Amino acid sequence: MVMNHRYQEPEIHQMLQTLSQAVVMRDCKTVQELTERMVEERVDLFVILNQGLNPGMLWACEQFRKGTFHVPELLMSSRALKIGMNILRPLIRDRERNVVGRVVIGTVKFDLHDIGKNLVNIVLEGNGFEVIDLGVDVSPEKFVRTVEKHEAQILAMSSLLTSTMGWMKSTIELLRQAGMKRVVRTVIGGAPVTSIFAHNIGADAYCAEATSAAETVKKLLGIEA
């Protein structure tokens, strides 16, 4: 944690906790104010993201899983997260100006979940990656076409449903058919996705959580993390 700010560590810790709580409570105003204040106080951007915003979002997702949150609450938590990320994103981008690699990312066909993927985006951007985000419901053809067009080194796919995971396999298959499988490294992630599945479908890596995305991708490219 960067400590050249006027707050003591316990205070920062408290602020991070309040930030998390604000994401859960969908209190966008507090998220905005606190994120701005912490940025001003030079708290490390990734600390704000990984210890403030992200845990709040994970907690909200957990509430959704348990059934205490429904879609509208989840949407509002994700809006709060986005407001925080909008403050951090340009700063994180600026931090690492050397582009270490180009990533094409998206949620697979028939899958409309994007919270986890958006987190991965910002983590990758903050670590010097150029990210081309195709959004949700992306077909294998679109993935492969974009990778080819932008000459990306990495293809990252997310899936939140057991019923859509098969599209990851189809995309990798299409990549292979296009003769790009050896050139482009593939990484997959999402709630039902496991390392076993990644291995079985021939993906080059499995990313367990958004926060470890940069590390996973750097390892794939042979860059020291």
| Site of interaction with another protein (CB under 8 A) | 26, 28-29, 65, 70-73, 75-76, 79, 83, 86, 112, 160-163, 165-166, 169, 191-192, 194-197, 200-201, 208
Q: How many CB atoms lie within 10 A of CB 162?
A: 12
Beta carbon nearer to another protein, 26 or 185? 26
- CB of residue 48 vs another protein: minimum separation in angstroms? 18
Torsion, CA 141, CA 143, CA 149, CA 153, rounded to 10: -140
C-alpha–C-alpha distance, residues 203 and 181, integer Å:
9
Nearer to another protein, 8 or 163 (CB): 163
CB of 2 to another protein, least distance (A): 27
Cβ at position 7, least distance to another protein in Å: 27
Question: Which C-beta is closer to another protein: that of 12 or that of 28?
Answer: 28
- How many angstroms separate the CA atoms of 198 and 184, rounded? 15
Shortest approach of another protein to residue 97 CB, angstroms? 23
Q: Is 217 exposed, middle or buried (0-12, 13-18, 19+ CB in 10 A)?
A: buried
For the bound state, the minimum distance from the C-beta of residue 108 to another protein, rounded and expressed in Å, comes to: 13
Give whichever of 136 and 178 is closer to another protein, judged by the CB atom: 136
CB 1 within 8 A of CB 9: yes
d(CA 7, CA 196): 45
The residue (of 41 and 73) whose beta carbon lies closer to another protein is: 73
CA atoms lying within 13 Å on the CB side of residue 212? 12
